[in-house]
Amino acid sequence: MKGDDYMQGRHFWTHFWVGLIVGSCWGAYTCYGIIDGLAAFIGCTAVIALVFALAVGYWGDPLWRRLLDWWGR
């Protein structure tokens, strides 16, 4: 796949959807002790999940490797 069509290819969407799942788990874990209301909790989790999904979708495998190294300490 060419470098200029990465954002439209299957590779981006694979990283995006996996990142959305991991990001929603991480967002729920992060927001659980901080947010009291259900709507605010869902909103906070959704924002973290979306930002995480876009980041791993854009940067791909190098970001996953860095995150796994960081989480594996």
Query: Is it the case that residue 70 has pLDDT exceeding 50?
Result: yes
Interval 37-61: pLDDT, tens = 999 999 999 999 999 999 999 998 8
- How would residue 5 be classed by pLDDT, with cut points 50, 70 and 90? low
Classify the phi-psi angles of 37: left when phi > 0, otherwise alpha if psi is within -120 to 50, otherwise beta. Answer: beta
Tell me the pLDDT band of 1, cut-offs 50, 70 and 90. Answer: very low
In a domain, 4, yes or no: no
User: What is the residue range of 51's domain?
Assistant: 12-67
How many domains does the structure of the chain reveal?
1
pLDDT confidence bin for 9, thresholds 50/70/90: low
Domain assignment of residue 28, yes or no: yes
